[in-house]
Structure 1
Amino acid sequence: MRQAIWFRSDLRTLDNPALFDACNGEQPPLAVFFACCETWERHNWAPIKIDFLWRNLESLQQGLAEKGIQLEVQLVPKFSQVPGAIRQFCHENHVERMQINAEYALDEKRRDAAVEAVLSRDDIELVRHHGNVLVAPGQVRTQQGEYYKKFTPFNRRWRQVLNEMNYGEPLQAHSFEPVIAKGLPNCPGKSRDSSHWVAGEQEALGKLGQFVGHSIENYQQARDLPAQTGTSQLSAYLALGVVGPQTAARALHSMSPEFPFGLPTGADTWLTELAWREFYQHLMYFVPRLSKGESFQTETDRIQWLDDDNAFQCWCKGRTGYPIVDAGMRQLTSTGWMHNRLRMITANFLVKDLMVDWRKGEAFFMKHLIDGSFPANNGGWQWSASVGTDAVPYFRVFNPVRQSEKFDPDGDYIRKWVNELKEVPTKHIHWPHSWLQQKSSNNYCEPVVEHRFARERFLTRFKQVKHG
């Protein structure tokens, strides 16, 4: 039987159940990837993410060729055109079974359902695996058989399921006689240089090994300090599936025979971050309206947001007058990545200080992030805006100056990204305006809003919605 694998957000050979299954026959499987640039643009994919994707595709194509598997990359502008393209691919190559790793957002689910309908008419089997998550949606249920709406009980049950899983040898796809890689078409659509992120599966595995072997013990403390490199730096690779969650879990498993229990504090904290990643994917699966720009807490869609484009542009450009917020936004637009603590601070500020609709911030992040993942980005924004399933309580409004003092105490992160504040003493760095007024050359922006006033404004509007 001729088999093929359709790659999507799983650009790897290790721990890839769809590829592993496709290699079970006597002849090498075929492999295909459809570049849907018009749909990616509609989904707000960042140009830097597209560039990083293309570079990882090149690496994957070479890695597959060494295993005797030819990867063909086709330019198919829209998801709606994929069913026809995949049917033609199967006919031309006499494919009888197509293997995929499931994706859970609404457009992706609809695309896959349309593909399955087209292939079934020709008796071509579409086989789904769940290689993008450790635990498939539906495997983690409440005692009433429902999906979890709160993270903490989800995390508890998710870990119980992990405890029952087998962490033996990694899934290594069978190799065949090597072939010569075809090469890729030119990267379509807008792209932005991503070369400061080294592409490829081996690089991702090396980063994982380095992090687990050397940095993870300090992760709980260091992950909240943006001036340090205290995070795993794996998010961009996880978003494209260049490294899989199974590989990450196996690396942690080696640290505790009772995995996922008994882990050192840093490793346990990182596992919780992987749980958040899966929680948001499960929610996408069970709650389709999240893919339509709707809040999980439906009553919060009645909030009267301010249509203040000037305030929004100040936020986008990192010119709010709040140093920690401006540093985060400038890091994002300069590099295509932002430290996670800053994602929370900047999101909270946009929604709660500026009263700007969270969906605008969600789209802006996706348009710039190299690690943009729709489930995680949507979940994070709904959490910050207090409109999501497991949202921060609405009355919890971050004070940006206090956040700055706590997480960038010496101001090193601020000085790195906000050039106008390089000379400000540490004593004044978190709120430099009084100090700057004494200087003849002050080109830092004035505060776009007064925090205490903004906090009360937000709370008043939110209470009206929550309590009628």
Structure 2
Amino acid sequence: MTSGIWFRNDLRLQDNPAVAAAYANNAVGKVIPALYIAAPKQWQQHDWAAIKVDFLWRHLEQFQADAAAHQIALEVVVIDDWQQAGKACLEFCQRHGLTELYFNHEYPVHEQRRDRAVAVWLADHHIQCHGFHGELLVPPVIKTQTGNYYQKFTPFNRAWRAHLATAGVAAAMQLPQHDVSDQLQPLPECPAARRDSSAWPVGEQAAQQRLQRYVDEQVMNYADERDFPALDTTSRLSPYWELGLLGPQAAARHLQSLSPEFPHGLERGADVWLTELAWREFYQHLMRHIPRLSYGKAFLQHTDAFPWNTDTQQFARWCEGRTGYPIVDAGMRQLAAEGWMHNRVRMIVANFLVKDLQIDWRWGERFFMQQLIDGSFPANNGGWQWSASTGTDAVPYFRVFNPTTQSAKVDPDGSYIRTWIKELKDCPTKHIHAPAAWLKASGRDDYPQPMVDHSSARERFLAAFKQL
């Protein structure tokens, strides 16, 4: 038996069951062939951001060297889209005389179909595929008492933690050292547009160090500080989860060191952070169970009949951070500048788009994916449907964020707003969240007036949603 690895969004050696299986089933010291398939047309169809492409390609360069130091020879093959994945995998397996191919599952529909097709294609040539749930702490097997998947987060979180308590957290794997750098193939040229991601260090070691530092220094304050974007004290690990530079098992081990009763007994900050990891997995489980989520359909099917606004000029003002609501505009300008946005602000700008402007949540979902370095289809889809009151466990439709009130709550002194809206850098704090009157009195017209009246917009949204 000769085994190889097919890497996808699991670009790490630690906490990777596909890697562990390949080591277990190959002779000691033997070089393990590994494959990564880049599919630029698929990336385009899935709205990958150019900054995410750059982050991936920078990491692949580092990861190839890291893998080589542990007897894994990584090849990167470029195809157009997933329809060619079977042929690429077969050629890779035949080139290396493989009889087994190991990988970790991905859960959106296109990826599930790709894997089933590749498995059939390879089986016809007597090559077996073996998939693992390496991207999750808890595989998508937990069920309600009636045997159904969980559709609400709170009971899911209880069951998720119970499973985690029973199954435990695997120890870190000890990797053998065996340099194969002289056998490496050079990476092909990146086949898609790139945008500088150098603010984010790449490499598995850098990701592990970021995780360690966050748990050691900041996670205890997460519950108290996570809603204040000016503090910038969230972990910023989301790009590393998305491309798999980190596995959730690593986070669990760090948290386990804080409580012998893990996943129970954690201090409040660490416990709330663990809940955020559960949210991430909840959305992945839903992708696995509900194919329509991959087709732009709402979880609450009746909400697909909502008469969404299709005003492209209003949408453009939201995209460009020119709505006249400072907290919304600050968030959108941070997104444009960094390819990232604080999570609390993501909720505020999403709520504004779908409830104040009544623009289709799918427009916002797609725009986010086209900009975000951490663009995760399950998490992004889940977050947008939550904000739009169309998804599972969604915010009730009658809960409409007041952007001015939210602004005062999450950015009380206006520091975050002033960072991203230079037109308001001199605006007094008492006016920073609703600067229209101050701007007028100052004879200023360099920052826009509010594009809608929130109270009126709220009433219009509630009246339209009630009709559903």
Q: Match for residue 326 of structure 2? A: 323
Question: Which whole-Å CA distance do the structure 2 matches of 1:438 and 1:147 have between them?
Answer: 57
Q: Does 1:260 align with 2:260?
A: no
SS at match of 1:142: coil
Secondary structure of residue in 2 paired with 1:70: strand
Cα distance between partner residues in 1 of 2:16 and 2:74 = 15
Deviation at 1:328, TM superposition (A): 0.2
1:202 maps to 2:205: yes
1:144 counterpart letter in structure 2: T
Q: Deviations along 1:236-286, whole A, 9 cap, x unmatched?
A: 000000000011111101100100000010100000000000000000000
What is the letter of the counterpart of residue 293 of structure 1?
A: G
Query: 2:144 is aligned with what amino acid?
Result: T
Mapping of 1:108-147 within 5 angstroms?
Answer: 108-138=111-141, 140-147=142-149
CA RMSD of aligned residues (A): 0.9
| One-letter amino acid matched to 2:375 | G
Aligned counterpart, 2:445: 442
Contact 1:20 1:172 in 2 (8 A): no
- Aligned equivalent of 1:170, options 169, 172, 180: 172
Question: In structure 1, what is the Cα distance between the partners aligned to 2:57 and 2:416?
Answer: 31
Quote the offset at 1:446 in angstroms.
1.3
> If the length of structure 1 is used for normalisation, what is the TM-score?
0.98
Alignment of 1:85 with 2:73, yes or no, is no
Between 1:321-330 and 1:79-88, the stretch displaced more is 79-88
Shift of 1:78: 0.6
Tell me the CA shift for residue 168 of structure 1: 4.8
SS of the residue 2:75 aligns to: strand
C-alpha separation between the residues in 1 aligned to 2:175 and 2:241?
A: 19
Aligned-partner residue type, residue 155 of structure 1: N
Task: State the alpha-carbon separation in 1 of the partners of residues 31 and 133 from structure 2.
Answer: 22
Aligned partner of 2:15: which letter?
D
Cα deviation, residue 307, structure 1: 1.2
Q: Is the CA contact (8 Å cut-off) linking 1:318 and 1:327 kept in structure 2?
A: yes
**Alpha-carbon distance between aligned partners in 2 of 1:382 and 1:69, rounded to the nearest angstrom:** 40
Aligned to 2:379: 376
Alignment gaps of 5+ in structure 2: none
* 1:392 counterpart residue number: 395
Same amino acid, percent of matched pairs: 54
Instruction: Show CA shifts across 1:317-349 (max 9, x none).
Output: 000000000000000011100000010000000
Shift of 1:169: 2.2
Q: Return the match for 1:157 from 156, 159, 179.
A: 159
3-state SS of paired residue (1:311): helix
TM-score scaled to structure 2, two decimals?
0.98
SS at match of 1:389: coil
How far is the alpha carbon of 1:149 from its aligned partner?
Answer: 0.3
- What residue is the counterpart of 1:22 in the other structure? 22
Q: What is residue 292 of structure 1 aligned with on the other side? A: 295
Q: Which residue of 222, 225, 230 maps to 1:227? A: 230
Per-residue deviation, 1:177: 4.5
Other-structure match for 1:451? 454
Q: How does 1:21-60 map to 2 (within 5 A)?
A: 21-24=21-24, 25-26=26-27, 27-60=30-63
CA-CA distance at 1:45 after TM superposition = 0.4
Q: Given the alignment of the two structures, is residue 246 of structure 1 paired with residue 243 of structure 2, yes or no?
A: no
Q: How much has 1:310 moved relative to structure 2?
A: 1.2
Q: Distance in 1 between matches of 2:246 and 2:36?
A: 17
2:407 is the counterpart of 1:404 = yes
Residues 170, 249 of structure 2: 8 Å contact kept: no
| Structure 2 counterpart of 1:335 | 338
Instruction: Report if aligned partners of 2:68, 2:178 keep a CA contact under 8 Å in 1.
Output: no
Distance of 2:251 and 2:196 partners within structure 1: 27
CA distance in 1, matches of 2:444, 2:349: 27
Q: State the Cα distance separating 1:178 from its structure 2 match.
A: 3.5
Alignment coverage as a number of residue pairs: 464
* 5+ residue gaps, structure 1: none
Q: Distance in 2 between matches of 1:119 and 1:35?
A: 19
Question: Secondary structure in 2 aligned to 1:427?
Answer: helix
CA–CA distance in structure 2, aligned partners of residues 35 and 56 of structure 1: 13
* Deviation larger for 222-231 or 370-379: 222-231
Q: Deviations over 1:354-409 (max 9, x none)?
A: 00000000000000000000000000000000000110000000000000000000
Amino acid at match of 1:402: T
